[in-house]
Structure 1
Amino acid sequence: MGLSTAFTELFDVEHPIALAPMGGSAGGALTAAVSRGGGLGLLGSGNGDQDWLARELPVLAGEGAGKPWGIGFQTWAIDVGAVARALEHRPRAVMLSFGDPSPFVERIRSTGTALIIQVTDLEEARRAVDLGADVIVAQGTEGGGHGARNGRSTLPFVPVVVDLAAPVPVLAAGGIADGRGVAAALALGAAGALLGTRFQATAEALLAPATARAIVEGRGEDTERNRVLDIARGSQWPAKYTARTLGHPFLDGWRGREDELAAAPHAQQAYQDAVAQGRIPALPQWAGEAIDLIDDLPSAADLVGTLAAQAEAALARAGRR
């Protein structure tokens, strides 16, 4: 049957599925695999680190088979130069998340590149519409990694953004890890789904083996939103955005004491020492609430097709009831 939506038509992709541009883990191989599988791969550029991009972009070019792809940035962490350098590689889309996208919109649109803006509340959604986003990603709080401290759950948030943004296509994000979640996103009026944690648990993700195992073995109740780990590792993430992670010794020790931790350089040094000594993971183990649904580490290219088939089956079952 196939699931044709405004999103698949915009990017000429087979399935209404996109890779969340997860900084660090969504490298060239993973981005290429998702695009080869019929979705839209989005390279996780994060802060636009030039050395990282110089390493991952050739991988993407070599393995992408000429398929559409895009690149994502943490908007608060970049400048116009980072976007300009990315545009030289002719991505089909640039995705901006977490911060004010307005300084970068004109540069992106002047090249004919599609603009994707991720939003975590209705104020951000209205701004994305006003800025002329080609696609809006509505992120619920169930998702892994960073999101709004005071955001809303995916199920009620997505249809509100769909109504607000129409006719701009919306992707649902947050707590989607199988085809039933993709089907639910479509039923809510979204034009597709953007998945992060599910694609972290794949053969192509740039992920420490211990973290991949933790995702496969973890449960949704093992995750929680926090700022502790950003503060401990000296990250400058804006306080508006917390991160959903798996458990961590520093999280247990400093939960609810964020201001105290921020004023305790000895504790932050202790974190760095523990990382250097291999006693704690080098990065927080970002993971969403839907990790209960993840029990394997497939190829991302195969996974896209599996998700699409599951979504079609779920919608067919719903139609028979």
Structure 2
Amino acid sequence: MALSTAFTDMFGVRHPIASAPMGGSAGGALTAAVSRGGGLGLLGGGNGDSDWLARELPVLAEEAAGSPWGIGFQTWAIDDGAIARALEHRPSAVMLSFGDPGPFAERVRAAGTVLIVQVTDLEEARRAADLGADVIVAQGTEAGGHGARHGRSTLPFVPVVVDLAAPVPVLAAGGIADGRGVAAALALGAAGALLGTRFQATTEALVDTATAKAIVEARAEDTERNRVLDIARGSRWPAQYTARTLGHPFLDAWRGREDELAADPNAGQAYRDAVARGEIPALPRWAGEGVDLIEDLPSAADLVGALAAQAEEALARAGGRPGTEPVAAPVLPADGRDA
């Protein structure tokens, strides 16, 4: 069966799956591979760095083979110029995350481009709906990379956003790393799922071999949401957004001492020196709680189809279709107490 939803109809894609626009790792090759595979690839535009976009957009244009694709930005870090440069390449969608999308929403929609807004709490969800977002991504705290410091878990958050935003399609994000997670998102009322960490562990992702290996070998308990690494590397990320990463020596040294770290004039240099010596990775290893389910490094194009097939199988099992074994209901004693 085909998993047809409002999301697949909107973009004309085969599967209700999108890849997260992960800054630095979701380059042109990864974005194009997801789109060729039947999902919606989203380029990681990050803070709108013009040199990075000038390098990756031609790769995407060449390899997407006419398939729909989009580009995502960190809303707090961009200006009108970044949006203008993106729209010149006629993306199917622009996704805005982390910050007020208001200054950019009308320009995106006026260009005839689908506006996707990622939200991390109900206030942001209401704001996205009021601005006329065409798609809303509801991100739970299980997600890898940046998210709300005081956000909500994906399972209870998604259906609330679905109800609030209706009839606007909602994508679920956070901790989804296999087809069962995609099926769960659909069961919650979402029109699809947006996956980040799972697509970071693919052959097309712009991550080094050591990072890809670390993701494959990691478990959920190896991830941690923190601000330590943003502070240590001098990142300007707003304090309300922490990042879920794999373990790191600076985390062990400064956990719970963020204010001290920010006030230490030598800490940033120590971080840069450790990177230069190869003692720590150049970038934090962003990873969500779904890492337990990641065991290989496939092509992203193949992965999209595999995720969709797994989702179809999971929904078939849940619906008791032929070939599945229904779970028998428990038999209770006559007085209604548990046996």
TM-score, length of structure 2 as denominator length: 0.94
Q: Which residue does the alignment assign to 1:247?
A: 247
**For residues 109-145 of structure 1, what are the alpha-carbon distances to aligned partners after superposition, in whole Å with 9 as ceiling and x for unaligned?**
1100000000000000000000000000000000100
Q: How far, CA to CA, are the matches of 2:125 and 2:106 in structure 1?
A: 18
Q: Which residue does the alignment assign to 1:65?
A: 65
What secondary structure is seen at the aligned counterpart in 2 of 1:244?
Answer: strand
**For residues 207-233 of structure 1, what are the alpha-carbon distances to aligned partners after superposition, in whole Å with 9 as ceiling and x for unaligned?**
011000000000000001000000000
**For residues 67-92 of structure 1, what are the alpha-carbon distances to aligned partners after superposition, in whole Å with 9 as ceiling and x for unaligned?**
00000000000001110110000000
Q: Which residue does the alignment assign to 2:160?
A: 160
Q: How far, CA to CA, are the matches of 1:159 and 1:70 in structure 2?
A: 25
User: Alpha-carbon deviation of 1:272?
Assistant: 0.7
Q: Which residue does the alignment assign to 1:17?
A: 17
User: Alpha-carbon deviation of 1:268?
Assistant: 1.0
Structure 2 regions of 5+ residues with no counterpart?
Answer: 321-325, 327-339
Q: How far, CA to CA, are the matches of 2:265 and 2:142 in structure 1?
A: 31
Q: How far, CA to CA, are the matches of 2:235 and 2:5 in structure 1?
A: 38
Q: How far, CA to CA, are the matches of 2:216 and 2:5 in structure 1?
A: 31
Q: Which residue does the alignment assign to 2:304?
A: 304
What secondary structure is seen at the aligned counterpart in 1 of 2:99?
Answer: coil
Q: How far, CA to CA, are the matches of 1:109 and 1:35 in structure 2?
A: 22
Q: How far, CA to CA, are the matches of 1:267 and 1:85 in structure 2?
A: 36
Structure 1 regions of 5+ residues with no counterpart?
Answer: none
User: Alpha-carbon deviation of 1:276?
Assistant: 1.4
Q: Which has the larger radius of gyration?
A: 2
What secondary structure is seen at the aligned counterpart in 2 of 1:46?
Answer: coil
Identity %: 85
**For residues 208-266 of structure 1, what are the alpha-carbon distances to aligned partners after superposition, in whole Å with 9 as ceiling and x for unaligned?**
11000000000000001000000000000000000000000000000000011001120
Q: How far, CA to CA, are the matches of 1:86 and 1:311 in structure 2?
A: 32
Letter in 1 for 2:78: I
Q: Which residue does the alignment assign to 2:123?
A: 123
Number of equivalences: 321
Q: Which residue does the alignment assign to 1:74?
A: 74
What secondary structure is seen at the aligned counterpart in 1 of 2:67?
Answer: coil
What secondary structure is seen at the aligned counterpart in 1 of 2:58?
Answer: helix
Q: How far, CA to CA, are the matches of 1:262 and 1:181 in structure 2?
A: 38
Superposed, which structure 2 residues align to 1:45-56 within 5 Å?
45-56=45-56
Q: How far, CA to CA, are the matches of 1:91 and 1:221 in structure 2?
A: 37
Q: Which residue does the alignment assign to 2:263?
A: 263
Q: Which residue does the alignment assign to 1:190?
A: 190
Query: Do structure 1's residue 209 and structure 2's residue 209 form an aligned pair?
Result: yes
Q: How far, CA to CA, are the matches of 1:283 and 1:43 in structure 2?
A: 18
RMSD between aligned residues: 0.4
Q: How far, CA to CA, are the matches of 2:109 and 2:182 in structure 1?
A: 29
Letter in 2 for 1:153: S
Letter in 1 for 2:11: F
User: Alpha-carbon deviation of 1:277?
Assistant: 1.6
What secondary structure is seen at the aligned counterpart in 1 of 2:116?
Answer: strand
